[in-house]
Amino acid sequence: MKIDINRALRSVIKTGEVVIGANRTIDAAKDSKVQLIILASNSPREVRTKIEESEVPVLNYAGNGVDLGLACGKPYIISTLAIINPGESDIMRVFK
């Protein structure tokens, strides 16, 4: 079953717990608090490498940082996003 990633992201932002930003995402991944990390297509290579070294599942978002920011309802660029608690969102079904 296919889900609408953008709708799921908006739901996570409203009802769940997220960390936005490369440094905060990397720190959260090290602390093993994260259920899923989302990377924009234009995330910096060094950030992508550090995140992919963690044990956390990664979802590669098809759009760039501007698109990811807009999908999350934020007026700024988001290159990485860590989901700590998905709330009422069905975004974790991406891996089922």
- Within a domain: 27: yes
Chain-centre distance for alpha carbon 16: 12
Domain CATH for 57: 3.30.1330.30
Instruction: Annotate 66-91 with DSSP letters as a single string.
Output: HHHHHHTT-SS--SEEEEEE-TT--G
Q: Look at the chain and report how many structural domains it folds into.
A: 1
- Give me the domain span that covers residue 53: 5-85
C-alpha distances in angstroms, 73 versus 17, 45, 46, 80? 15, 25, 26, 14
Q: What is the pLDDT of residue 1?
A: 53
The CA distance from 77 to 95, in Å, is 25
Residue pair 65/78 in contact (Cβ under 8 Å)? The answer is yes
pLDDT per residue as tens, the chain (96 positions):
578 999 999 999 999 999 999 999 999 998 878 999 999 999 999 999 999 898 899 999 999 999 999 999 999 999 999 999 999 999 988 766
